Structure 1
Amino acid sequence: MTTDVDTPDDVLSAPRKAGFLDRQRIIARPGFNRWMVPPAALAIHLCIGMAYGFSVFWLPLSQALGPAPSARCPDLSLVAALFTTNCNWRVSDLGWIYTLFFVLLGCSAAIWGGWLERAGPRKAGVVSALCWCGGMLLAAVGVIFHQLWLMWLGAGVIGGIGLGLGYISPVSTLIKWFPDRRGMATGMAIMGFGGGAMIGAPLANLLMGAFKTTDSIGVWQTFVVMATIYFAFMMAGALGYRIPPPGWRPEGWSPPSAAGRSMITTRHVHLRNAHKTRQFWLIWLVLCLNVSAGIGVIGMASPMLQEIFGGRLLGLPDLSFDKLSADQKVAIAAIAAGFAGLLSLFNIGGRFFWASLSDKIGRKNTYYVFFLLGIALYAAAPSAAHSGSQLLFVAIFCVIVSMYGGGFAAVPAYLADIFGTQFVGAIHGRLLTAWATAGIFGPVIVNYIREFQLAAGVSRAQVYDFTMYILAGMLALGLIANTLVRPLADKWFMSEAEVAALQDAPASGQNGTTGSFGIGKGGLDGKALLAWAAVAIPIFWGLWVTLKSVIALF
């Protein structure tokens, strides 16, 4: 006797209808323009990149209860500061939010990178928007009730998780859409992360000025407005993501032959095996050492320029920093702010320039340039400082910081070259633990060597000399690590059948025989132009504001 009623096994084996956020729902259809994907990635990265600019809130928040002496509690412990409602917060206590950002970014990218590859970039982008913007709203509540622990939890922890997911969400997708221009594609997106503060910091200053009253510093209102704006942009970006069908490749493009460019593989390594290879840890060292050197300089850029050049910044070469009056120190601080802004521009531009160049000369050669040129520039920096050449000193550090940004932008393509594209987003997520390590290691080296030198009686104009030589030595170690990177042995790669099973596609589709289907056509059509305009307008506004502050430097 038979029945039409489904058995439990039938129910379990029935395919589940794909949800709106699922990976299956965002496979591109014929006619889709691949140039719609980079602005979607930029929309997310420009928002989460505000993490670099959060320091604009520290001074206003340190006066949240007003300037009354009773609100100053210099002996307050860190634990007490988390819960006090009667004492102003110290900048050092607020600064832990910045540390939490980048520690949680690296950790969340490493932990949930594998989930992202399965769930797809749209779902990851939505979760990122909820965490980053929701964290800002929770931080606003912390400001209203003067609870620092809520700010740490909201902006630092929850927001940091959103940073990690948002940062890696477009990487794998962009590399698959642009196999012919891997470096350029990831450089465009990661450029946005470097440029987020260029837009967000002046916007935050404008909003705080608009909301400030005699009873309010205007920060919680600024958090709410920025969270609302960012949520709209990030959701638009997440919903704009599309992924190519399995086996797709640009029309007229063929993968590079293994004989011609052996550093670029056409096969794929599983996520569970990537960290077992020597190549993963060598590239981890390459990124960590490059970032440690650069981030240490960025963190001390303003005081470094002021202490080295002192009165020379005001046309008073005989006055060292210690001999300047209070008003003169304020004047050179404004000039140093222009220096920091100029470094920000080179950080942003370097991400696109060096990543695009890596498509021409190869990723390994690009890192050779970073390390060899970086060693020479760090070693030359003390001489430039002592010669009194302000222009040469500034130029040296602009190039150094451009390579710092370029290191971030080129590393996803480096990983794709070595490990293939199937799990590159998740592998990149795990590699970002190098960033979390460098974020602690680099500033500690610069700060503690500076304090040691000052305690030993070294003048402020010379206190950074030894630091520059130490950083050059770190780059030399990175050069050795990069030299040891080799193509992987065959045992690490998955078979075509394994890759096909992961992609729900026939194995024969892996050789690109599926063709283009009219997907990913070149050029900018009307929709693509609108998408690019939506991210270009705030970028140009931030660029204009930054350039105005840089003018004071010269």
Structure 2
Amino acid sequence: MGDHLSRDRITAPPAFDRWLVPPCALAIHLCIGMAYGFSVFWLPLSHALGASACTNLPAAFTSTNCDWRVSDLVWVYTLFFVVLGLSAALFGSWVERIGPRRAGLVSSACWCGGIALGAAGVFLHQLWLFWLGAGVLGGIGLGIGYITPVSTLIKWFPDRRGLATGMAIMGFGGGAMVGSPAADRLMAVFTSPGEAGVWQAMLVLAGIYALFMTAGALGFRLPAPGWTPPGKAEIVAGAPSCRSAWQVAPRNSGWSGACCCSTSRPASALSASPRQWCRKFLAAACLASPCALPISTRLRKPRRPRPAPASLA
């Protein structure tokens, strides 16, 4: 099994179709994207026992006789993405060293195992176990599962890096669109008097996600050293981009000597293409949105009526 997961065994032959890799990436990202949809569990969990709500967070950690508050549960969402960033930073080089197939299986084990451990915390009504399983262990699976498909797709699509990243992010963002309705239906199936059906729904989702993530991880392949995309012989996987080559090249060399990865289109046509203008527009919109938010908030505030001027004597 270890030899089957080695980098040498997952190196693709020259005739391998690179478009077989995006479905594997989507299989992983659609599963871990359920992190955005975990709020579907908050309301049922806040009424799981039918008792009074816990008075504070320490009481929620130690007591099994009071219902968790929503404010106690949303910390799982915070743990998801804090641990995601930390694990992505810590395990990035490790993922590159062991290859995407092993990393994908580790991600599947952490994410699905974390959901299962969180389900045990719900069953035992132990908030700390729910945090540890879904938030911490699941967050590690999120981080590894996030960077593994992205780095693999970029290797296969060096000529379309934006498209490769977008395909992966699309799956991550769309995971809640699939997972939240599924979790809602599962809770409706398992709901009974005195039972919210949350831990059963989490266990079923963990099993389904384990199947899809394992299939996606086993489908990953790596391009051979020196592999180039079809019809793009001048673009080598892992080669520097046009911008980095321009920064390294002498100033007086011009685009002809610096842009080693340019296509047959001239640089002027590339800079004026609709794709470039779309990127500029999206960047400007992202930069402007934080500034527009307080302005729109002020515009929505009702204006106070001005006091009537005092009558002149």
Normalising by structure 1, report the TM-score.
Answer: 0.46
Residue 34 (structure 1) aligned with residue 18 (structure 2): yes
Pair 1:265–1:65, CA change in 2 (3 A):
farther
Determine the C-alpha separation between the residues in 2 that align with 1:128 and 1:164. 8
Aligned residues of 1:18 and 1:24 also touching (Cα < 8 A): no
Post-superposition shift, 1:380?
A: 6.1
Determine the C-alpha separation between the residues in 2 that align with 1:123 and 1:180. 26
Partner residue in 2 for 1:201: 180
Partner residue in 1 for 2:281: 369
Partner residue in 2 for 1:60: 44
Post-superposition shift, 1:376?
A: 5.4
Determine the C-alpha separation between the residues in 2 that align with 1:232 and 1:53. 19
Partner residue in 1 for 2:33: 49
Determine the C-alpha separation between the residues in 2 that align with 1:152 and 1:97. 6
Amino acid at match of 2:25: A
Partner residue in 2 for 1:246: 225
Determine the C-alpha separation between the residues in 1 that align with 2:228 and 2:245. 15
Residue 107 (structure 1) aligned with residue 91 (structure 2): no
Partner residue in 1 for 2:151: 172
> Which of 226, 247, 250 lines up with 2:205 in the alignment?
226
Determine the C-alpha separation between the residues in 2 that align with 1:250 and 1:28. 13
Determine the C-alpha separation between the residues in 2 that align with 1:98 and 1:130. 19
Determine the C-alpha separation between the residues in 2 that align with 1:368 and 1:31. 36
Percent identity between the aligned chains? 60
> Which of 238, 243, 250 lines up with 1:263 in the alignment?
243
Aligned residues of 2:118 and 2:133 also touching (Cα < 8 A): yes
Matches within 5 A, 1:265-280: 265=245
Residue 129 (structure 1) aligned with residue 116 (structure 2): no
Determine the C-alpha separation between the residues in 2 that align with 1:48 and 1:99. 15
Amino acid at match of 1:370: L
Determine the C-alpha separation between the residues in 2 that align with 1:27 and 1:374. 38
Q: Over residues 181-217 of structure 1, what are the superposed CA-to-partner deviations in whole Å (9 max), with x where a residue is unaligned?
A: 1111221111000000000011110000110000210
Amino acid at match of 2:6: D
Determine the C-alpha separation between the residues in 2 that align with 1:180 and 1:375. 26
Partner residue in 2 for 1:187: 166
Partner residue in 2 for 1:341: none
> Which of 236, 249, 267 lines up with 2:215 in the alignment?
236
Post-superposition shift, 1:44?
A: 0.2
Pair 1:239–1:266, CA change in 2 (3 A):
farther
Determine the C-alpha separation between the residues in 2 that align with 1:135 and 1:266. 46
Normalising by structure 2, report the TM-score.
Answer: 0.80
How many residues of Structure 1 are paired with residues of Structure 2 in the alignment? Answer: 276
Partner residue in 2 for 1:216: 195
Aligned residues of 1:18 and 1:25 also touching (Cα < 8 A): no
Aligned residues of 2:53 and 2:69 also touching (Cα < 8 A): no
Residue 462 (structure 1) aligned with residue 301 (structure 2): yes
Determine the C-alpha separation between the residues in 2 that align with 1:199 and 1:221. 18
Q: Over residues 248-272 of structure 1, what are the superposed CA-to-partner deviations in whole Å (9 max), with x where a residue is unaligned?
A: 0023213369xxx7415499xxxxx
- Secondary structure at 1:27 match in 2: coil
Amino acid at match of 2:212: F
Determine the C-alpha separation between the residues in 1 that align with 2:214 and 2:79. 24
Pair 1:375–1:34, CA change in 2 (3 A):
closer
Matches within 5 A, 1:369-518: 369-374=281-286, 461-462=300-301
Pair 1:373–1:142, CA change in 2 (3 A):
closer
Partner residue in 1 for 2:53: 72
Pair 1:371–1:27, CA change in 2 (3 A):
closer
Question: Tell me, which stretches of 5 or more residues in structure 1 are unaligned?
Answer: 1-16, 268-356, 386-449, 451-457, 464-554
Determine the C-alpha separation between the residues in 2 that align with 1:82 and 1:141. 15
Q: RMSD over aligned Cα, in angstroms?
A: 3.0
Pair 1:190–1:380, CA change in 2 (3 A):
closer
Determine the C-alpha separation between the residues in 1 that align with 2:128 and 2:289. 42
Determine the C-alpha separation between the residues in 1 that align with 2:244 and 2:19. 24
Partner residue in 2 for 1:81: 60
Pair 1:108–1:462, CA change in 2 (3 A):
same
Determine the C-alpha separation between the residues in 2 that align with 1:125 and 1:104. 17
Matches within 5 A, 1:147-158: 147-158=126-137
Amino acid at match of 1:23: R
Determine the C-alpha separation between the residues in 1 that align with 2:140 and 2:132. 11
Post-superposition shift, 1:29?
A: 2.2
Aligned residues of 1:140 and 1:221 also touching (Cα < 8 A): yes
Q: Over residues 490-532 of structure 1, what are the superposed CA-to-partner deviations in whole Å (9 max), with x where a residue is unaligned?
A: xxxxxxxxxxxxxxxxxxxxxxxxxxxxxxxxxxxxxxxxxxx
Pair 1:78–1:172, CA change in 2 (3 A):
same
Pair 1:377–1:104, CA change in 2 (3 A):
closer
Determine the C-alpha separation between the residues in 2 that align with 1:29 and 1:378. 47
Pair 1:375–1:101, CA change in 2 (3 A):
closer
Aligned residues of 1:131 and 1:161 also touching (Cα < 8 A): yes
Pair 1:106–1:367, CA change in 2 (3 A):
farther
Pair 1:144–1:174, CA change in 2 (3 A):
same
> Which of 154, 163, 182 lines up with 2:142 in the alignment?
163
- Secondary structure at 1:85 match in 2: coil
Structure with the higher helix share, 1 or 2: 1
Aligned residues of 1:255 and 1:266 also touching (Cα < 8 A): no
